[in-house]
Structure formats: structure tokens, C-alpha cells
């Protein structure tokens, strides 16, 4: 009887897997720690007599010896047998298959079977036993034996043989099997033919010796040759029991005969202490050290490598087989994450010659065996480091470049343990930061190229598969292109979906990662036996395995399918076969360029048309074929939920694969060069890797008159005056430099001026004193990263116009600081590419024409524009009742301006499909450059292109793009779409606009920058930005070996709408002296951005911030007196007051950013609740105050009565939300409305309340006993804070919780305000008369459920609930956050509060 319990070290039960039980070797009691994550405790009752060996079933001596062999293997803990059919091996096969504790699998192909055993050894780190017949059956094992030998995988071979008298005599199936595998095995022994003249002890000691040799360093194959005479079957044949002499104790126990014992201490290093001290001195003296991590085989090795990496703080280059390349983030703590510097794309960064020179390291430590990347190896050989230290358990020379200076034979765990005791100075932080920034830029480029390619590519397959591997599963990668793609394009640092609470583990170890078990056959790196190995690996590791391989590798081992449908002790597998109908790797070799294609296809690619589907059908394996990205994602999702194995065939093409890899390499190299140029131009200060510090930001509300209404907005036709309103941002750097930005929403923005102003007020508060990352000007995801990590704001929560204005202000300020133009700040190559700069220094402008009037009138206006020098004109269409009227206008304009002028039409999605087709067919002869957004439904765009043959441009389609533009854009790679019109203020800033433009340019489309009727400041910025995009296009064409198209006229013609401007200097256009075209130069736009000032006549008001008013409010009650700390800000408005209540451990400080955001429209008051912050409570003599929810509500009502005579809106979070809800239900005469953030009406069940009361009382005692610091460390490890822990400012948030003056009353608040003591308010909800806004975080499942139940209760208590309930109660889910929504995603909370405030005002 066996009891097995597994616990993670933080106390959580990780479950019991019965599959592991059969592998217990003997009864015992033990407790073993496998890794920092997992420990096992076992209690096994010793029933050893039940495990005695019986000879009763051994009919003859062959049967006896075979049974002894199998029994000893089982006693040694080896129970997995791989059996090939055969006659001579009958005794062994019968003994193995009939043993009660063995697991057996069979296959008719010995080669596949042997590789399967190798896979089992990789997965379990224990050898499988292969049983074969004699002859060539043995020879078929050689490829697997070589692989196991080369990669130190334990393996045991039992090969049946003919007796000596049949050797070298021409007997059937007889070959010389002695030392058949030569030096590829660690041990060989040929047993004598079974006889009772030889002690049977020899048999079991031979097994013991073989197993020890196979499992000792260096691990590998062991071969036991087993000759048998007939009878081979279990036919009775007399034998003498005397041969069992000396086995009596063995037969009465369950132990192996010989126990080999070896020391696991670090005696090897202690014996060479002088050398180790020398190594430590080398590491201590390193200036540019790199930790190179090769293949890791155990979880302990992974943890040891991570702990060493954290200790050294060196850049980490992790191989795909290390398990760290595809690491999962367990829990994000910025201060911990900063100690790990993973360089995941070092291979592609080294494509740049400049990077190879710059990135030379002086000391390399390599943990584990050989690495996959040839480029990394070549670079190390080209720039040999001063010291190269390799650590490996075996003694083999893995040094093909002959550069290793110190070879340490040790386990990685032992080596790491030794080094963790030593102290090392930090490697140059600048070196590490440079490498990290360089890697980040290359990673973003690779990601962009993969995501922007519409077709399903092999790099995308590697990328998406790596993301699909969960913490509980494993990956097996085939050789050739499969492992190279996984190594180059696999994605690490993906959030782990593991369900267990591992936070305490992370806190104790300081390691926030979970390694993924990854395996591959890299011993001899052959393509044979890969499927079989993967299946064996799945059995051995006992996890769901995803296997990735190529088609030729798969076809090489189709007999492995026979193993696949034998589900023995194995979880389901997903096998991805990339089918490019040949050996794609040869297309990357020099032979491909020098050889005829016919020869390549036949003799190198071995091109084929084999149906993989039919092979799967023949073996009963589920097959799915995918050709698109979406199909692949769907297939992976389906397969992961299946209980059966699944093979996914990914269609590919050798030539396309080669071309895409070439494109990836070129752009990765370009990105590495550009990044190095950018980083080299920056002087890094001790404060960090930043450009400069922001001193402050202000904004001004402007109103300028327009000549006519904007073409994008509806307007009153009776109006004669038209205006444009918005905000001008002025951002000041610490050196006094400043830059302008603009946030001016239109109707198309789906934003309002008040909403925009609230976000600007918020930004004014959080941006002060922050540092600008040096990578921000690259516009490659760096702005988003800075907004999140620097400001703590979800990038997606910022309004598009606000983000555009912010980016504009920062970039213009940086340009002013550097004394350069904005285009030079954006283009890191500008100073080096003089030829580009000389030819691309002006921007041509497309005129905008609102085609009201008769065709003749519009044509006359167009002709006037041409005379002024415009070479392109965009006409607004679809404003008339009949499309034929627009046809007449277009035809008349074309007739008037001639064929050399580019005409564009813009329908703004106003036509139905039939109307658009009617128009398109009629203007085909008018030679439009394109028609913009011709149809209402974007799904009809491609259809319109095909039916009319007209070129199309996208505009509104991309305006709706939020976080992932490349996914949406990939649908529009059709060549009929020739242009993308990009409004930076609508799509969400210059960074996103640059991303969209890059996609357009790489797909051969025009990227046209368009204004949204902004002021001259925005127009001048857009000119510089357009120049940057034009230069980028030229560089893109150079990299892709394309011809550069004609100059693009950008959509900046809206300047003609400005009757006056916010800037004192007008937006300057000029007519080119030589061409006569209207254009804007770098110099003129730069002059306006740097020299112009605000036109005070257009400014309605300015705002530079608002100070918080702090005061104490004293109150006296019967039992106690208290003084509440109050913070107040905002307009003096008695009728519009908002009171904020924080949660437990919080303070009034928590609300300051939100208060500052909304203080323009409401008076904001926040309070340090009793026991929190600086508030004070004094008990009266002989009295003891209670801090129950009733008492706290009473205190707050008294405060509100004194500071706000009318009703107030109350906002509460968590504990504060419960108080706010209580006040709303009990004192609705004072509460106008309540915003309940992650709040609850209490606990319904009395027993649950009692338990919660006891828990909170215990926590309160702990707070008093152990202090606040320890209490906080424990408090924030809970599941409720999982999302908050991922916030980049989490450390600062926790630090703010230390600022409480009264620890006793803080603990008392925890106890007295416990939901276990609070009377449940569920029943009162049905009588709710106060409007409630229930705010919950998207990831907060518990409180989302509570909010839904609250809304249900309220709805059931109100007549006509469908209408009335909405007015009384509404739920808003805040995206991308958890419990603390107001801290994690404050801008979305502000937007929700504004919506609620508007609702209150209307009601």
C-alpha cells in the first residue's frame, strides 16, 4: 500500500499522478526535494514479502535467466521495455511482458523502437530497455545508439543472439554481435548461453553493472548480448536449482543484488580548489561577461542556472534546448525581473557586422552542452573571448572552435552552488543595458516582420508553437530547419497560465520564471527517428508534448506512427509537420546557388508529393491541415483540448520560406545597425538608460476660426462661422528645452473635449519628473513600453488624440534639446545617409477639395489648385444623392486638369456596395490614383477591387485599429489596395502611424500622412514625420531590392481651412523653383516648431497644474475623538462634490491622480479612513472605540455634513467601496450616486462570515506582532493581487502602504471592518434608491461575479427593471486589470466615472 503526496514548497497541493506509481523501485519511506519548486513526501508500508521473486513459472533455464534479467531491471527502477518481435528474443519478451510491474511497447521497426527508447530516456532521465532478436535487427539499433552516446542519454540494449556453435557457420539470422556498437556504448557484455552450471548471481550482477555504467557520468548506452539455445518458448526443460545458490536473500526481498553508491558531493571542485579560485577571479575581473546556456535536462539544472544568472547579473543567451529560451513568467516583479538580462535574439543581432565587433565579450560561461546557433558559434570563433569557461557533467570535448580556456567537469547545480557563495561585482550596467536595448529592437523588428506577413510562414509556426507550450507541457523539436526556426523565432517571457499560487516561491527564490522542458536529438543531429523519439519523450516526461518537425524528417520515420497509436502511460501529443515538400535546409546552403534546380530538387531537396493525411488515416491518427495563421491557431487550440493525439500538417513552400527568411535577416540586420547607431549617439548617465528628464507639462485650450467646415464633420448649414477647438501641450525638459504637441479631437475620434482634458490633467500629474527612454525616438514599440513602464498607464487606455499630442510634444522637445530637426531624431541614419537626406528634404502636399457645386464649378476650383502648384487633388464624393452626380464631377475635373495631375476620390464609407460599384465602373477611364473607402462594409473592399479594377486606399478602416494593427492589416495585402491614409491623431500617435506605414511600404503600398484639421504645430510635425516615412520607404526598397516609386503627396492640404492659427508663425508652403510644385521643406516646418509661439488671441485658457489642499478635520463622539486627514482639490462647487474612500492599507494619496484628472468639473475630497495614513483616533477615558462599518459611516457622514451641504457622489474601493455602499443604502439622503470599485455587500453565509472574522482577527494580531513590513510581504502574495503585481510601479505602491501612523488602529480597522463582522447588505439592495456604478477589473473573476449578483438583486427589487435597473445600477468592466482597477488602469476608471457623472446630471 503506497501513499504519495506532492506539495509545492509554498504549501499548495500539486496533485497526484498514478502514472508515476509503477516506477517505485522498492518499499521505503522518503522525503526528497526535487527543485526549489517541487518536493515529494512518500510513506510506503514495507510489504517486502509480497515482492519476493518466484522461480515456479520458470520452465527452463532460458526462462529463468530472462526472468532474472527483467526482475533485476525492475528492482533497479527500470520498468519501461521496448520490444521488437523476433524468435530468438522470445524468453526476454515473455519475461518482460508478463511481469506485473513492467510497461511494454512493441514496434516492428527496431530503428524506430530504439529511438523511442532514446526519447524515453530524455524525458524520464532513466534508461528504457530495448529487446530485439538477432541479426540485422541489432544493426538497426545503431543510429539510436549513436544519438544516445553522443548526447549522454541512458539506454539499455538486450539483444538476443545465436549460441556459439551457430556463429560463423552460415546459420540463419546470425551475425557477429560482439562489440557490435563499438565505442558508442559505455558498457558491453556478452552473456554465456544460459546454463545451470553458472551461478545465476552472475546474471543479476551483470545487469547491475550495465545499469550503473549507463546511468553514471558520462551516461549513455549499455549493451548486453544474450545468446539462447532452444527451446525458446516456455517449454519445460529440466534445470538444477543449485545455480540459484547465494540468491536466497535477493529472492526474499525487493532490493537489487548489487547497490552501486557514488558520492554526490562537490569533491571534484574541492579537489581542484586552486583552479576554481582562478575561475572566480576571472569572473570577478570580467567587464563584459555573457552567460551562455546550452541544453538543460532537469528542473534542478534550470533553477541553478537561473539563480546563477541572478547572482552574476550577466546577459543571458539561452539556447532553445535550455528550457529558458521559452521561459514563462510566473509572476512579474520589476525589481526581480531587472536582475535577469535575457538576450533572446542575439543570433539575428549578430547579422550586423558592426554589432559583432561591438558585442565582443571578454568572459563567457557556458552551462550545458552545445548550442544550436551557428552564427553565435562563428562570432565567438571570430572574436575569441579572453576566457571561455565551460561547465558540463561529462568530460567530452565540446569545443569545435577550440576556444575553451577552462573546462569544468561538474553538474550545473554544484557549480552554481559554489559560485553563489562568492561575491562578484556587477558587469558594466551600460554594457548590459545596451545589449538589452539592442535585443529589444531586433526582437520588435522580427515580431513586426512575422506578424505583418499575411501568409503562414515557418518562423510564424515556430513563434506561435513556442507560445502554445504551457508550463505543464513540453516541446520536442526536430532537426534541420525545425530547431533552427525554434531557436531564432521562439518567444520567451510569455505569461504562465499555471493555476497554482506560486508567489511565495517567487518571493523566496527571487526567480520569476518557469523553464519549459525542451528536447531534441542533437547528439548526432540526424533527421532519423525523430517522431519515435518524440513519442518516447512524451512517455518519459509524462506531459503533454508538442512536437515540431519537417516533412522529410517525418517521412523518414513514418513507422513511428505505429508507436503513436499505442497510448501506453502517455498523455496526448500534438505533432506539427511543416510540409514544404522537400528538404528546405538545402536552399540555405551555397550549393543552392551553384546547382541546377532539377538536380537540387531530386538529389538534395528530395522533393515529394506524399500524402501525409493518408499516412495518418492508415495509422488511425487524427489529421488537420492548415494553410493560414488563423487555421493554425485554431488547430493548436483544438488539439490542446483533445484526449487523442493529433497531427497538424502546415503547408509551406521552399522558395517562399527561403525568401521570407532572407527578408527577416535583412531587416533584422538593418534594425541592429540602426539600434547600434541610436544607442551609440546617446550619452548614458548614472541615472539610467535615458535621454532626459521631464520637468513639467502644461496645456492651453484654443479656439481658431476656419474658412469652411471640416469635411469630416457634420455642421449646421445655416452657420457662417466655423471653429476648431483643441489643446496645445507644452512639455518642458530639465534643461529648459520644450516642445509642442496637440490633442484636438474631432467627431471621428469618438472623443470629447472634456474627456480629453481629464486625461491631460492626469498626465500633467504623473509625467512630472519622469525620464524619457533613449529608445522612444525609434517608434518601434518604445513609446508604448515607456508609457506603461515609465508612467504606469495602460497604453490602450489613452485617447488616440491625447497620445498623439503627448508623443508629438516629447519628440519636439527632444529635437529642441539636441538642436536637430524632428526627422533627424526619428531617423537614426539621417546623418549617415546624406544622399537620402539631400533628395528627401521636402514634402509634397495633396490639395483637398470638398466637391460641393456643379461639375463645372468643382472643375474650375481644381484647375485653380493646379495653377497654384498642386500635383495631387483629393475630391470628397458620396455627399450627393446619386453616385452618378459624383461621376460627372470626376469626369469634368479630369477633363479640366489633364492627365498629369493625380486625382483621388474619398467616399468616407458612405456608399453601399452597389452604389460604389456603379460609381467605380463609370470612372474607370478617369485614371484615379485611388478611391478612398468606397464601401460601408470593410468586408466588401477586396471584392470592390476585384470587380471594378480600381485602386483603393484605406482610411477609416485603420482608424478603428486598437492594439494589434498588423492582424487587421494583414487582411488587406491585396495589390488592389494601393495606399493607406494615416491620421496620427486618429490611429493613436506617431508610433502606431509609423508601424502602419512600415507595413504599407513593405507591401508595396503608399503610406500617406493625413491631417485632421489640426493647427500649424501638428501640420509642421506631420511634415517632418512624412519626410521620415519617405526616407524609411527608400531604405526599405533598398533592403528589399525594389525600385523606389514616385514621390507621394501627403494629405496635409487641410492647412487651407485655417483662417487663423494657434501659432504666431504661419504654416509655410512654397512653390519649388524648378518643378513649380507646392511643397513644405524641413527648414520651414522646423522653424515653426522651434521659433513660433502661441497666438494668445486664440487661447481660451491655460492650465499648468493644481495643488492639493491638505487639512485635518476634528470630530468628537461619545466614546472617542478623531482627526481625519483630508485632501481637497477642484472647483468650488457645492452642488458637485465627489468623496473618495480608499481600501484597506491605502490612504487618501491613492486617489490624487484621479482627483487631479476630474477636478476641473467637480470638487474632489479624499480622506484617510480611521486607522489609516495620518488620521488619528483617541479613546475617551474608560471607553473603547469601535471601528465597525456603522461607526466609520457615521464619522464620514458627519464630515460630509460639514464640508458639503448638498448631496455628494461617493467613490470607494474595496473596503472603501463597502463603506460607500453601506452609506448609499442607509443614508441615501446624502448620497447622489456611488461608484463601487471592487466592492461587496458582504458575506451571505453565516459560517463563512465566522471563518472570515477569525481569519481577519488572526491577520490583525499578526500585524501587531510582526510589524507592517512582514504583513505587507504576505498580504500581496494573494491571488487577488496577481494582476497588480504585474504593474511596473508595484514596488512604489507597496512602499506607499508603509506610511501609516497608527499601527494599533490599522489592525483594529482590519478586524472591526472585516466582512466577517459587517452585516450583509444583500437584502437592502432590493430597496436601493441611489444610482450605483459597479466597476470591476476584467481579470477579477470573484468581484465580477459579485457585481453581477448585486445587479441581479437590484433589478429584482425594482418595477420595470429592464429600464429602471439601468438607471439605478450599471456594471463597467475595466480592461486589462484586476482587483485594484483604479491603480492598474486609472484612465479607464476616469472615463467610466465621467460617463456615470453625465448620467447623474441628466437624471
Active site residue 622: no
The predicted pLDDT at position 584 comes to 82
Element (H, E) at 649: strand 646-651
d(CA 645, CA 562): 12
For residues 1105 and 1153, the answer to whether their CB atoms sit within 8 Å is: no
Residues with Cβ within 8 Å of 782's Cβ and at least 6 positions away in sequence, in order, are 773, 775, 776, 991
- List 329's β-bridge partners, or say none: 495, 513
d(CA 905, CA 948): 15
Query: Which grid cell is 1230?
Result: 446624502
Q: Is 15 left (phi over 0), alpha (psi -120 to 50) or beta?
A: left
Residues of the chain with pLDDT under 70: 1-57, 263-273, 331-338, 427-428, 493-510, 683-689, 713-718, 748-749, 828-840, 962-963, 1228, 1358-1366
Give the three-class secondary structure for 575: strand
Cα distances from 1046 to residues 142, 147, 700, 831, 1071, in angstroms, run: 63, 57, 40, 24, 19
Active site residue 794: no
Let me know how many helices (H) and strands (E) the chain has, helices first: 54, 49
d(CA 325, CA 427): 22
The predicted pLDDT at position 1297 comes to 93
Residues with Cβ within 8 Å of 270's Cβ and at least 6 positions away in sequence, in order, are none
Catalytic residue among 983, 1005, 1230, 1282: 983
Closest CA to 822 of 813, 833, 832: 813
Q: In this structure, are strands 1070-1071 and 1078-1081 parallel, antiparallel, or unpaired?
A: antiparallel
- The residue with cell 473603547 is 1184
Question: Which DSSP state fits 1291?
Answer: H
The predicted pLDDT at position 263 comes to 59
| Helix boundaries (H) for 988-1081 | 990-1002, 1016-1039
The predicted pLDDT at position 839 comes to 55
Residues with Cβ within 8 Å of 1017's Cβ and at least 6 positions away in sequence, in order, are 728, 740, 741, 742, 808, 1062, 1063, 1088, 1089, 1092
Closest CA to 255 of 72, 3, 29: 72
CA angle, residues 1220, 1324, 1151, in degrees to nearest 5: 10
Q: What is the DSSP string of 956-985?
A: HHHHT--S-HHHHHGGG--TTEEEEEE-HH
For residues 928 and 732, the answer to whether their CB atoms sit within 8 Å is: no
The predicted pLDDT at position 428 comes to 65
Catalytic residue among 328, 874, 1125, 1127: 874
The predicted pLDDT at position 967 comes to 80
d(CA 946, CA 974): 10
Residue 1011, preceding bond cis, omega within 30 degrees? no
Say how many residues make up the chain: 1403
The predicted pLDDT at position 711 comes to 78
d(CA 1259, CA 1252): 10
For residues 1000 and 448, the answer to whether their CB atoms sit within 8 Å is: no
Closest CA to 829 of 349, 354, 351, 350: 354
Q: Is 383 left (phi over 0), alpha (psi -120 to 50) or beta?
A: beta
d(CA 419, CA 708): 74
The predicted pLDDT at position 1151 comes to 97
Q: What is the DSSP string of 827-853?
A: -TTTTT-HHHHHH--EEEE-EEEE--S
- Burial class of residue 108 in the structure, from the number of CB atoms within 10 Å of its CB (0-12 exposed, 13-18 middle, 19+ buried): exposed
The predicted pLDDT at position 8 comes to 36
**HEC readout, 785-823:** HHHHHHHCCCHHHCCHHHHHHHHHHHHHHHHHHHCCCHH
User: Could you tell me how far CA 1310 lies from the centroid of its own chain?
Assistant: 37
b/e per residue 669-684 (b: at least 16 CB within 10 A): bbbbbbbbbbbeeeee
b/e per residue 751-768 (b: at least 16 CB within 10 A): beeebbbbbbbbbbbbbe
Amino acid at each position: 500500500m503506497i501513499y504519495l503526496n506532492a506539495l509545492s514548497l509554498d504549501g499548495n497541493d500539486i496533485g497526484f499522478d498514478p502514472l508515476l506509481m509503477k516506477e517505485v523501485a522498492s518499499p521505503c519511506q522518503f522525503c526528497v526535494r526535487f527543485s526549489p519548486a517541487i518536493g515529494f513526501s512518500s510513506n510506503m508500508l514495507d510489504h517486502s514479502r509480497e515482492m519476493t521473486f518466484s522461480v515456479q513459472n520458470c520452465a527452463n533455464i532460458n526462462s529463468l535467466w530472462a526472468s532474472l534479467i527483467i526482475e533485476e531491471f525492475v528492482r533497479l527502477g527500470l520498468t519501461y521495455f521496448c520490444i521488437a518481435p523476433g524468435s530468438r528474443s522470445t524468453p526476454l519478451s515473455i519475461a518482460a511482458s508478463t511481469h506485473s510491474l513492467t510497461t511494454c511497447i512493441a514496434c516492428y521497426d527496431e530503428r524506430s523502437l530504439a529511438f523511442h527508447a532514446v526519447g524515453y530516456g530524455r524525458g524520464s532521465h532513466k534508461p528504457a530497455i530495448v529487446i530485439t532478436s538477432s541479426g540485422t535487427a541489432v544493426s538497426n539499433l545503431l543510429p539510436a545508439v549513436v544519438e544516445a552516446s553522443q548526447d549522454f542519454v541512458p539506454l539499455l540494449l538486450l539483444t538476443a543472439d545465436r549460441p556459439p556453435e551457430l556463429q560463423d557457420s552460415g546459420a540463419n539470422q546470425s551475425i557477429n554481435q560482439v562489440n557490435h556498437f563499438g565505442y558508442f556504448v559505455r558498457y558491453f557484455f556478452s552473456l554465456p548461453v544460459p546454463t545451470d552450471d553458472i551461478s545465476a548471481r552472475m546474471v543479476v550482477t551483470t545487469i547491475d553493472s550495465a545499469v550503473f555504467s549507463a546511468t553514471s557520468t558520462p551516461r549513455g548506452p549499455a549493451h548486453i548480448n544474450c545468446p539462447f539455445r532452444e527451446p525458446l518458448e516456455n517449454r519445460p526443460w529440466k534445470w538444477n536449482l543449485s545455480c540459484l545458490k547465494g540468491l536466497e536473500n535477493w529472492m526474499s526481498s525487493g532490493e537489487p543484488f548489487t547497490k552501486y553508491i557514488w558520492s554526490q558531493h562537490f569533491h571534484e571542485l574541492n579537489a581542484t580548489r586552486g583552479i576554481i579560485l582562478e575561475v572566480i577571479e576571472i569572473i570577478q575581473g570580467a567587464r563584459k561577461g555573457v552567460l551562455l546556456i546550452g541544453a538543460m535536462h532537469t528542473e534542478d539544472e534550470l533553477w541553478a542556472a537561473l539563480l546563477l544568472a541572478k547572482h552574476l547579473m550577466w546577459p543571458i543567451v539561452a539556447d532553445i534546448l535550455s528550457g529558458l529560451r521559452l521561459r514563462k513568467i510566473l509572476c512579474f516583479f520589476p525589481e526581480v525581473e531587472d536582475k535577469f538580462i535575457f538576450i533572446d535574439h542575439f543570433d539575428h543581432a549578430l547579422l550586423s557586422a558592426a554589432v559583432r565587433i561591438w558585442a565582443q565579450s571578454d568572459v563567457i560561461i557556458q552551462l550545458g552542452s552545445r548550442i544550436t546557433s551557428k552564427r553565435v558559434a562563428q562570432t565567438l570563433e571570430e572574436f575569441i573571448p579572453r576566457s571561455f569557461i565551460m561547465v558540463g557533467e561529462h568530460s567530452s570535448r565540446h569545443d569545435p572552435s577550440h576556444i575553451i580556456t577552462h573546462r569544468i567537469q561538474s553538474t550545473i547545480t554544484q557549480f552554481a552552488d559554489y559560485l553563489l557563495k562568492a561575491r562578484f561585482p556587477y558587469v558594466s550596467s551600460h554594457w548590459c543595458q545596451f545589449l538589452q536595448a539592442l535585443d529589444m529592437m531586433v526582437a520588435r523588428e522580427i515580431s513586426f516582420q512575422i506578424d505583418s506577413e499575411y501568409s503562414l510562414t515557418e518562423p510564424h509556426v515556430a513563434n506561435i508553437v513556442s507560445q502554445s507550450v504551457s508550463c505543464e507541457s513540453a516541446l520536442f523539436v526536430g532537426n534541420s530547419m525545425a530547431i533552427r526556426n525554434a531557436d531564432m523565432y521562439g518567444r520567451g517571457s510569455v505569461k504562465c497560465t499555471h493555476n497554482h499560487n506560486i508567489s511565495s516561491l517567487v518571493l523566496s527564490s527571487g526567480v520569476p520564471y518557469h523553464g519549459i522542458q525542451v528536447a531534441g536529438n542533437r547528439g548526432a543531429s540526424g533527421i532519423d527517428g525523430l517522431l519515435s523519439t518524440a513519442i518516447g519523450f512524451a512517455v518519459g516526461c509524462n506531459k503533454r508534448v508538442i512536437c515540431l518537425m519537417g516533412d522529410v524528417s517525418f517521412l523518414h520515420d513514418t513507422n513511428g506512427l505505429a508507436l503513436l497509436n499505442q497510448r501506453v502511460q502517455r498523455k496526448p501529443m500534438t505533432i506539427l509537420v511543416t510540409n514544404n515538400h522537400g528538404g528546405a535546409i538545402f536552399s540555405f546552403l551555397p550549393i543552392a546557388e551553384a546547382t541546377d534546380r532539377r538536380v537540387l530538387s531530386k538529389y538534395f531537396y528530395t522533393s515529394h508529393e506524399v500524402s501525409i493525411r493518408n499516412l495518418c488515416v492508415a495509422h488511425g491518427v487524427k489529421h488537420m491541415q492548415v494553410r493560414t495563421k488563423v487555421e493554425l491557431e485554431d488547430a493548436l487550440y483544438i488539439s490542446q483540448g483533445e484526449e487523442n493525439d493529433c497531427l497538424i500538417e502546415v503547408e509551406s513552400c521552399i522558395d517562399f520560406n527561403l525568401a521570407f527568411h532572407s527578408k527577416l535577416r535583412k531587416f533584422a540586420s538593418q534594425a541592429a545597425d540602426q539600434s547600434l547607431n541610436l544607442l551609440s549617439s546617446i550619452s548614458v548617465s548614472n541615472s539610467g538608460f535615458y535621454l532626459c528628464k521631464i520637468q513639467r507639462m502644461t496645456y492651453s485650450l484654443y479656439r481658431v476660426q476656419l474658412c469652411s467646415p471640416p469635411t469630416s464633420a457634420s455642421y449646421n448649414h445655416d452657420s457662417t462661422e466655423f471653429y476648431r477647438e483643441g489643446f496645445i501641450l507644452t512639455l518642458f525638459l530639465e534643461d529648459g528645452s520644450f516642445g509642442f504637441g496637440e490633442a484636438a479631437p474631432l467627431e471621428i475620434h469618438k472623443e470629447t473635449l472634456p474627456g480629453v482634458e481629464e486625461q491631460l490633467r492626469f498626465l500633467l500629474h504623473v509625467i512630472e519628473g519622469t525620464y524619457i527612454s533613449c529608445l522612444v525616438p525609434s517608434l518601434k514599440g518604445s513609446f508604448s513600453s515607456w508609457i506603461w513602464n515609465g508612467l504606469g498607464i495602460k497604453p490602450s487606455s489613452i485617447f488616440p488624440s491625447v497620445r498623439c499630442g503627448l508623443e508629438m510634444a516629447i519628440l519636439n522637445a527632444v529635437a529642441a534639446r539636441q538642436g536637430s530637426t524632428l526627422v533627424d531624431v526619428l531617423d537614426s541614419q539621417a546623418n549617415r545617409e546624406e544622399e537620402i537626406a539631400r533628395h528627401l528634404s521636402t514634402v509634397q502636399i495633396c490639395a483637398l477639395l470638398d466637391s460641393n457645386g456643379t461639375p463645372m464649378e468643382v472643375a474650375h476650383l481644381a484647375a485653380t489648385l493646379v495653377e497654384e502648384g498642386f500635383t495631387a487633388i483629393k475630391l470628397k464624393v458620396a455627399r450627393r444623392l446619386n453616385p452618378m452626380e459624383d461621376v460627372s464631377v470626376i469626369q469634368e475635373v479630369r477633363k479640366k486638369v489633364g492627365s498629369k495631375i493625380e486625382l483621388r476620390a474619398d467616399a468616407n464609407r458612405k456608399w453601399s456596395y452597389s452604389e460604389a460599384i456603379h460609381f467605380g465602373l463609370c470612372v474607370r477611364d478617369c485614371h484615379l490614383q485611388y478611391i478612398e473607402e468606397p464601401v460601408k462594409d470593410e468586408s466588401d473592399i477586396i471584392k470592390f477591387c476585384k470587380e471594378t479594377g480600381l485602386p483603393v486606399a484605406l482610411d477609416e478602416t485603420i482608424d478603428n485599429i486598437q492594439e494589434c494593427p498588423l492582424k487587421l492589416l494583414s487582411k488587406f495585402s491585396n495589390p488592389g489596395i494601393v495606399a493607406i491614409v494615416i491620421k496620427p491623431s486618429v490611429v493613436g500617435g506617431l508610433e502606431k502611424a509609423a508601424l502602419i506605414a512600415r507595413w504599407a511600404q513593405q507591401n508595396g503600398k503608399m503610406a500617406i500622412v493625413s491631417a485632421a484639421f489640426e493647427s500649424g504645430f501638428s501640420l509642421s510635425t506631420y511634415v517632418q514625420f512624412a519626410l521620415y516615412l519617405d526616407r524609411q520607404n527608400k531604405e526599405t526598397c533598398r533592403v528589399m531590392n525594389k525600385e523606389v516609386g514616385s514621390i507621394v503627396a501627403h494629405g496635409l492640404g487641410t492647412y487651407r481651412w485655417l483662417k487663423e492659427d494657434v501659432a504666431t508663425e504661419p504654416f509655410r508652403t512654397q512653390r519649388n523653383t524648378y518643378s513649380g510644385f507646392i511643397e513644405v521643406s524641413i527648414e520651414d516646418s522646423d522653424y515653426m516648431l522651434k521659433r513660433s509661439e502661441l497666438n494668445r488671441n486664440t487661447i481660451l485658457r491655460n492650465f499648468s497644474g493644481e495643488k492639493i489642499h491638505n487639512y485635518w478635520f476634528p470630530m468628537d463622539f461619545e466614546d472617542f475623538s478623531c482627526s481625519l486627514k483630508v485632501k481637497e482639490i477642484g472647483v468650488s462647487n457645492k452642488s458637485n462634490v465627489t468623496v473618495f474612500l480608499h481600501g484597506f492599507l491605502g490612504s487618501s494619496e491613492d486617489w490624487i491622480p484621479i482627483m487631479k484628472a476630474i477636478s476641473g468639473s467637480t470638487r474632489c475630497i479624499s480622506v484617510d479612513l480611521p486607522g489609516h495614513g495620518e488620521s488619528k483616533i483617541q479613546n475617551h477615558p474608560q471607553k473603547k472605540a469601535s471601528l465597525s462599518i456603522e461607526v466609520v459611516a457615521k464619522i464620514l457622514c458627519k464630515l460630509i455634513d460639514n464640508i458639503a451641504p448638498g448631496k455628494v457622489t461617493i467613490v470607494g474601493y474595496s473596503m472603501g467601496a463597502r463603506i460607500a455602499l453601506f452609506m448609499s443604502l442607509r443614508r441615501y439622503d446624502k448620497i447622489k450616486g456611488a461608484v463601487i470599485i471592487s466592492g461587496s455587500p458582504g458575506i451571505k453565509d453565516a459560517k463563512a462570515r465566522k471563518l472570515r472574522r477569525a481569519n481577519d482577527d488572526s491577520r490583525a494580531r499578526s500585524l501587531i506582532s510582526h510589524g507592517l513590513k512582514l504583513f505587507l510581504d504576505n498580504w500581496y502574495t494573494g491571488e487577488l493581487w496577481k494582476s497588480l503585481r504585474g504593474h511596473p510601479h508595484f514596488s512604489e505602491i507597496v512602499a506607499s502602504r508603509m506610511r501609516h501612523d497608527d499601527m494599533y488602529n490599522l489592525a483594529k480597522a482590519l478586524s472591526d471592518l472585516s466582512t466577517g463582522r459587517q452585516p450583509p447588505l444583500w437584502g437592502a439592495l432590493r430597496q436601493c434608491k441611489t444610482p450605483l456604478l459597479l466597476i470591476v477589473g476584467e481579470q477579477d473573476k470573484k468581484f465580477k461575479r459579485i457585481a453581477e449578483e448585486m445587479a441581479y438583486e437590484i433589478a429584482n427589487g425594482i418595477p420595470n427593471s429592464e429600464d429602471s435597473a439601468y438607471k439605478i445600477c450599471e456594471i463597467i468592466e475595466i480592461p486589462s486589470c484586476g482587483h485594484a482597477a483604479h491603480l492598474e488602469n486609472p484612465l479607464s476608471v476616469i472615463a467610466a466615472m465621467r460617463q456615470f457623472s453625465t448620467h447623474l446630471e441628466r437624471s
